């Protein structure tokens, strides 16, 4: 009715209520909006704690996020990066990317720390090294279309974009589900797999 998208309305709420430059407060304000106003498919606080724990354990210097959406996961990842680390995030929908860009900058992260790349993941991944300078990633967070998980993992492998000992963190593999990705990860012999039990966001 307002002529603006849910994502844009959420950003307007952030502008009105969140503290600029405070990533933790940005995420809390996002959560308030999603709990009490409109549902957005963000990572949310429950699964967010799993992401934070992995970041703490791994301390990755090069992180790749597939599926920026509104920037919630991006801010979550960026606030947990060790000093000198860099985050590359890919979003296929230009409208979502426009909102995410504003959210990321509102949270206080510069382009030196977080680079947002707009375009389909299958087109962006092969160009990451030569166009964006990502030699390889220590941590990959997948939170885009579930049907793309396996294809994009294999693209990362074939372009040698996974650092030795890299961690792949994939959201919602059980529901709505990414069965082919899960089967490949468990049976190809390249990965040690662990399923984290969590509730759906919000």
Q: Considering the domain boundaries, does residue 194 fall inside one?
A: no
**200 found inside a domain:** no
Q: Which residues are catalytic?
A: 143, 146, 171-172, 201
What does the pLDDT read at residue 166?
98
The pair phi, psi for residue 72, each rounded to 5°, is -60, -55
Q: Where in the sequence is the domain holding 59, given as residue range(s)? A: 6-188
- How many distinct structural domains can be found in the chain? 1
Assign residue 34 the CATH number of its domain. 3.40.50.150
Q: Tell me, what's the pLDDT at 202? A: 84
User: Given this model, what pLDDT does residue 1 score?
Assistant: 61
Structural domain includes residue 199? no
Residue 36 lies in a domain: yes
CB 23 within 8 A of CB 78: yes
How far apart, in Å, do the first and last CA atoms of the chain sit?
A: 24
Sheet of 162-170, strand order: 114-118, 86-91, 62-66, 137-142, 162-170
Contact in structure between 181 and 150 (CB atoms under 8 Å): yes
pLDDT at 192: 97
Check if the beta carbon of residue 101 is closer than 8 Å to that of residue 116. yes
Residue 195 lies in a domain: no
pLDDT tens for the chain, 202 residues long, are 678 999 999 999 999 999 999 999 999 999 999 999 999 999 999 999 999 999 999 999 999 999 999 999 999 999 999 999 999 999 999 999 999 999 999 999 999 999 999 999 999 999 999 999 999 999 999 999 999 999 999 999 999 999 999 999 999 999 889 999 999 999 999 999 999 988 888 8
């Amino acid at each position: 009715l307002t002529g603006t998208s849910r994502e844009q309305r959420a950003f307007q709420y952030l502008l009105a209520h969140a503290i600029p430059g405070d990533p933790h407060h940005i995420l809390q304000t996002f959560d308030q909006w999603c709990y009490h106003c409109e549902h957005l498919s963000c990572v949310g606080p429950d699964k967010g704690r799993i992401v934070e724990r992995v970041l703490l354990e791994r301390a990755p210097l090069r992180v790749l996020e597939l599926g920026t959406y509104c920037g919630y996961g991006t801010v979550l990842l960026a606030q947990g990066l060790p000093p000198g680390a860099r985050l590359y995030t890919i979003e296929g929908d230009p409208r979502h990317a426009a909102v995410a860009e504003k959210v990321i900058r509102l949270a206080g992260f510069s382009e030196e720390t977080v680079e947002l790349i707009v375009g389909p993941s299958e087109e962006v991944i092969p160009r990451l090294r030569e166009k964006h300078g990502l030699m390889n990633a220590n941590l990959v967070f997948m939170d885009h279309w579930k049907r793309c998980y396996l294809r994009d993992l294999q693209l990362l492998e074939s372009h040698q974009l996974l650092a030795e000992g890299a961690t792949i963190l994939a959201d919602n593999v059980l529901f709505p589900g990414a069965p082919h990705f899960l089967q490949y990860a468990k049976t190809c012999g390249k990965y040690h797999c662990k399923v984290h039990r969590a509730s759906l966001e919000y």
